[in-house]
Amino acid sequence: MSSAYDALVIGGGPAGAASAILLAASGWRVGLVEQHAFPRRKVCGECIAAGNLELLDRLGVGAQFRALAGAELRRVGWMHAMTTIAADMPACTVGPYAFGRALGRDHLDPLLLGRARELGVTVLQPQRVSAVAGTIGAYSVEVMARGEPARRLEARILIDAHGSWQRGPQVAGEGHAARAANRAGDLFAFKATYLRASISPGFLPVLAVRGAYGGMVLGESGRTTLACCIRRDTLAACRAAQPSLSAGAAVEAYLRRECRGVRELLGGALRQGAWLSVGPLRPGVRLGPRGGNFQGGGIFPVGNAAGESHPLIGEGISMALQSAAILAPILSAQPASAFDAERGAAAQYRYAAAWRAAFLPRLRLAATYAHLAMRPPLAAAAGAVLRRWPRLLATATRLAGKTRSAHISHLKSPELA
Ligand SMILES: Cc1cc2nc3c(=O)[nH]c(=O)nc-3n(C[C@H](O)[C@H](O)[C@H](O)COP(=O)(O)OP(=O)(O)OC[C@H]3O[C@@H](n4cnc5c(N)ncnc54)[C@H](O)[C@@H]3O)c2cc1C
């Protein structure tokens, strides 16, 4: 396989770009396929926790990130019905950065992908991976570009970074998982950006509303992001109540009606561009106990493709970047040409164990917070407790991972600095 890549990465979001950067910096020949042209907007709250800023430095984009991003996130809030409670954001005490920041995905994703290109990654964009065949050491990947015939690329290892909100490529020998039946509790995610919202720089309120949760933040260039998740049944009720509105506008009207904090912050705001939406989201672990795609042996899922936390805690980008930082050193400890079924299985095993240790507690906690936020009696009780002891909000934030280090001391840094 002389024309093969050592690793081919499927998807150019934070998980895919970070994996490509780290593997290329270790001397691997890396290709990356991203189906969309950048910059593109994406449904996301766009907040990056403090522990990842040092990781962004190691990836070689830290200075540019800090130059572009919004103010340090120093206050956290809880908004439910008529209640708004705010507390100081706990500082991250590990590493050089104490507070997280927010940056639009139309800036962050091109920044990371540009860095991958600088390190010699072949970026194929906009192109789509439609099918995968083969096994570890000899994968054959079908890539489609609009208006061109499909072509095949060869790679020893595949990094599945295609996210979780759409089907991944068809893997030969594996049927597509049957589409899950619709459930009332399925979550749909929405996002819009506004100018002239009256949110303070560095304030990160969480919104708790019957059947929905969300967050708001002032990012770069005076742009406020509102991102939220709403249950299928609640969305249907919103749309029925406001049949003349688009789904996004009906959701915004619902949030304004149910939550005084949203009404106040969006009072004189002007929405920029259309609402974005995705769904249904199914938070949970997709990585098996022995890694991903164990049969093929050489397909390693990172980011949302490996597992997804409820967006309420805003940790998905952290998990995307950090899963890449966990996986890349496991893979690059040996040359790509050394991988056979046995070594692939061993790497899958190590990766799965490290992934679970790093992220499972965060996933479980996020699920608990999400269910609490979406149920008014629980959200009201939480509000009463937080009003009495606002510092508990800081504790809840700390538990959600906002002050956690990205555990990057194992990454080789000189070539990435
Ligand atoms: C409402 C909401 C708010 C959120 N807020 C936050 C937040 O504030 N902070 C935070 O850290 N996280 C947040 N998240 C989570 C975060 O957006 C995701 O966890 C993160 O985007 C995952 O990164 P990823 O690289 O795994 O996947 P993605 O960012 O989804 O990237 C996957 C990429 O793969 C590409 N792709 C897919 N299929 C193919 C294919 N077949 N061929 C080629 N390319 C393909 C896609 O085009 C995409 O660019 C939020 C999520 C939601 C829904």
Percent residues over pLDDT 70 in the chain: 95
Predicted local distance difference test score (pLDDT) of residue 166: 80
Predicted local distance difference test score (pLDDT) of residue 374: 94
Atom of ligand 1 nearest to the CA of 316: 19
Is it the case that residue 259 has pLDDT exceeding 90? yes
What separation in Å is there between the alpha carbon of 44 and the centre of ligand 1? 8
Atom of ligand 1 nearest to the CA of 143: 42
Is it the case that residue 125 has pLDDT exceeding 60? yes
Reported as a single tens digit per residue, the pLDDT across 326-360 is: 999 999 999 999 999 999 999 999 999 999 999 99
Tell which one of 144, 203, 224, 317 to mutate to probe ligand 1, the residue whose CB is within 8 A of the most ligand atoms: 317
What separation in Å is there between the alpha carbon of 163 and the centre of ligand 1? 5
292-300 average pLDDT score: 79
Using CA of residue 270, residue 273, residue 279, residue 282, what is the dihedral sign? negative
Tell which one of 32, 52, 101, 162 to mutate to probe ligand 1, the residue whose CB is within 8 A of the most ligand atoms: 162
- Which residues are near ligand 1 (CB < 6 Å)? 10-16, 33-36, 43-48, 128-129, 161-163, 166, 169, 189, 191, 227-229, 281, 303-304, 311, 314-318, 320
Which residue, chain included where needed, has tokens 């206050």? 75
Is it the case that residue 1 has pLDDT exceeding 60? no
The pTM of this model reads 0.95
Reported as a single tens digit per residue, the pLDDT across 368-400 is: 999 999 998 998 999 899 989 988 988 988 888
Reported as a single tens digit per residue, the pLDDT across 19-37 is: 999 999 999 999 999 999 9
Protein residue with least CA distance to atom 8, ligand 1: 45
Predicted local distance difference test score (pLDDT) of residue 179: 74
